[in-house]
Amino acid sequence: MTTEIKVPVLPESVADATVATWHVQVGDKVSRDQNLVDIETDKVVLEVVATADGVITEISQAEGATVLGEQVIAILSEGGAQAASTPAAPAPVAAGTSQGKVIDIIVPVLPESVADATVASWHVAEGDTVSVDQNLVDIETDKVVLEVVAQDNGVIGKIIHVEGDTVLGSQKIGELNAGATASAPAASAEEAVSSDDLASPSVRRLMTEKGLTASDVTGTGKGGRISKEDVEAAANKPAAAPAPAAKAAAPVQAVQELGERTQKRVPMTRLRKTIAKRLLEAKNSTAMLTTFNEVNMKPIMDLRKQYKDLFEKTHDTRLGFMSFYVKAVTEALKRFPAVNASIDGDDIVYHNFFDISIAVSTPRGLVTPVLRDADQLGMAAIENGIRSLAIKGRDGKLSIADMTGGNFTITNGGVFGSLLSTPILNLPQAGILGMHKIQDRPMAVNGKVEILPMMYLALSYDHRLIDGKESVGFLVAIKELLEDPTRLLLDI
C-alpha cells in the first residue's frame, strides 16, 4: 500500500511555499511520525511527518522547489513494501510507560482572522501522568490564549512542538498515551534513548544549524530531554582556552568587569506585537484629538459610603466607581450618536446598541473585553460583568467572543495612580474615555475655597467623525451625570 506525502494546507493568506529540507531520501526506511521534510512559507516552517511505517519510494519535489498546499511531493510505501530484515521500529514511547492508545494533542481550530499561533506554555513534560480535562498546553494567538486539555487519562508520550514554536490550527503538537501508567524508568532504558527521542524535530534542526550533536548538549528536561534553550546554552558556551600568561591578567579582568553589565533580549509576545501594531495604526490613520474636563467625585463617594454595605448585601457584589462610569458613558452615547459610531470606508456606521469595551490590565498586556448591551444592565449587573471580564483576563481565559466588537472604550489609569493622560483610540472605535486618579484639590465653590475629591477626564476622539462641539458636549454630559448621580438613577 502506498501513501502520498503532501504539503500541509497553507494559511489563507499564503499562496505557495518552498521545500526547505528533506531529512530522508529515496530508499530510506521511516517510522510513523518521523519528520520527513520541512516546508517553508513566508511566515512559518511546517514539518511533514510520516503517517505510517514504510519506505520512501519517490521524491517528486526537491529542495528549493515551489509547491502549493496539498500538493503531492513524495510517495511512501507502507508496511510490507520495506524488504528489510529488520522490522520497522514502533513509534517511540516515553521511557517507563506502559503504552495505550495514542491520542494526538492538536492545536484548536483558530478563528477565521487568525493565520497561526504560538505554543505559549507547556504545563506537562514527557512521561507525566495526566487526567482527563487537565490543561496540557496554552496556545497563544494575537487575541486570546487557547487551552488544550487532555482527552483521556494517560501519560504524555511525545512533545513535538516546544514553547515558542509557531503552529497552525488543527496541527499536531504532541501525543498522549491514553490509559498508560508511568513507572520509574530503568537506567538501561535511559541510556538507550536516541538523539531523535531526546529532541523534537525543531530542536534537532537547531542543533544542525549550530553544528552540534546530542552529545554536545546537556538536556535539562525530563529524562534528559533537550530543549531549544539547552541548544542555545551549548552554542554560547565559551570554548576552553589555555591559561593566560601573567601579562594578560589585566585585560581579562577588564572583560569580566564589562561582562557584569548584562541585558536580556526576549521576543515580543503575539499580544504585545498586536497591541503595538494597533496603537501605531490608530495614531497614524486617524485624526485623533483629546479634550479634557474634570469632575467632582464627592457626590458619588458620598452615595457609595451611604449604600455600599446595603448594596453588597442585596446584590452580593461590591459597588465600585466603574458602574457609575459605564452608566454615565452609556447615557452620553445616547445623546451624541456620532461618538457611538465608526467609519467604514466612506460610510459612517451608527450603532443602535451600546457595547462598552473595558480596558483590563493582564499579565500578558492590556486587553479590551466587551460589556454587551450596557444600556440594559443595572448597576449590580455592570459590576458583576466587569469583575467577570477582569478575572477572565487575569487567568488568560478571555474568548474571541469576549474581545470582539465594542463601540466605545473606557480606560481607568487612576487605579495605577495616573493623574492625567491622553488615551489612544481602540480602532475602529471613534472615542475612548480616560478616567484618572481621584485627588483632593482646592476648588472655588460659591466664592469660597473648598477641598474636593477631583478627577480629570480625558476624551480622545477621531476628529474625522466627531466635531469639537460634539466632543465637548459629550464630555460635559458625563461630568454632569457623575456630579449628580441621582440623574443616572432617574434616567434624566
Cis peptide before 485 (omega within 30 of 0): no
Cell of 120: 505559549
Query: d(Cα 294, Cα 300) in Å, to the nearest integer?
Result: 14
Phi, psi of 188 (to 5 degrees): -65, -35
Annotated catalytic residue within 128, 467, 484, 491: 467
Distance of CA 251 to the CA centre of its chain: 45
The Cβ-side half-sphere exposure at 349, using a 13 Å CA radius, reads 11
What distance, in Å, lies between the first and last C-alpha atoms of the chain?
78
Beta bridge partners of 440: 453
Which one-letter amino acid corresponds to residue 292? Answer: F
* 467 included as an active-site residue: yes
| Paired sense of beta strands 288-296 and 448-462, if any | antiparallel
Q: Is 379 helix (H, G, I), strand (E, B) or coil?
A: helix
* 436 included as an active-site residue: no
Name the E strands within 50-201.
54-59, 66-67, 72-78, 101-106, 117-122, 129-130, 135-140, 145-149, 154-159, 166-167, 172-178
Of 301, 421, 311, which is closest to residue 359 (Cα–Cα)? 421
Annotated catalytic residue within 16, 42, 395, 463: 463
Query: d(Cα 172, Cα 136) in Å, to the nearest integer?
Result: 13
Mind telling me the catalytic residues? Answer: 463, 467
